[in-house]
Amino acid sequence: MPPGLTTDFSSDPAPGPLAGKHLVLGLSGGIACYKSAELCRALIKSGATVQVVMTEAAAQFITPVTMQALSGRPVYTSQWDGREANNMPHINLSRQADAILVAPCSADFLAKLLHGAADELLSLMCLARPIESTPLLLAPAMNREMLAHPATQRNLAQLTADGACVLGVGSGYQACGETGDGRMLEPDELLEEVIAFFTPKVLQGQHVLVTAGPTYEAIDPVRGITNLSSGKMGFAVARAARQAGAEVTLVAGPVSLPTPRGVVRLDVRSAEQMWQAVQPLAQQASIFIATAAVADWRVADAAAQKIKKDGSGAAPVLQFVENTDILASVADSPRARSGQLFCVGFAAESHDLQAHAEAKRLRKKVPLLVGNIGPATFGRDDNALLLVDAQGCHPLPRASKQTLAGQLVASIAQRMKN
């Protein structure tokens, strides 16, 4: 490596994805208000500042004291709040915000917004906001029948046409005892949506195919060969690509990670299954990011039954065959060679990162190779990356894998533009 370049690439912690953003978090009446407490905390941990505004109905489900403690700011509940010198909190608070997020947004509040009703502070603020500079994000929450009602569906459609961003709903058990659509999205899902809303859409119109995690090569029904990849980096890349506006398909090896919101996921187990899944998908993708730690070899003939010890002390003899090199095969396809498919490889090394990464990039014939030291990152939430292309090596200092994924996506977008 060049002088001064280490595998840690240490730097100060990166700011959160919402750093510098000031959000008004509006709560209308509904049992989902209990989720708003965790959402408020999540937004702040991601770097945002949060001003909570509650309707009188919301205060029946969660207290302003709770939201004040979590946001670190006094909560506004009345348009007549005397703390504002001009007695215009609906003007002042909306002008200070980068966005207004109403979560939960009840069926009643949706109807208010549609008709421009403004009989309390939150609806008044939504009506008085500068539409061009203060976007409105809505997280509906209601009973399944209320959501399905034609009036609600008309309201949602018209609010979307009017420029509001409706974040969708979850499905499952509801407080009333029924099951179906209408639950407010979980706090982590809403956080993803808010981050995606503010993320520059540098991959808009692109179809990104990502592989992630390890593969598992069976020896017999109860034993196999795998590696220490957790899949966290690949899942972070898939999430970052979707937040950047891409359509994303994720082919995942055997990992226990939640699917990033808005990402289509296919689960596979072995290297051969991953290859079979990737082949047709690569025909539709414009970017292929191979983060998966794919096994180089598999057992030629996996035993149908568990291999038993025979008391001799002799270990069974296993014959191996080489798996298809997924990255090299895709990079050598006609679409990749013609420039229709931009291929990015990953190299998890144990030593001599730069030398191995440079050699692998040339061997795989990819325009960009991302290297890291595997033992220093497997299973962790942070990493340090080395981007290797035809112009040389570009270190990305240690940061959270999600932060690095965003930087990698931005780098890919810039390379495709050039």
Q: Which residues are catalytic?
A: 176
Give the 3-state secondary structure of residue 26. Answer: strand
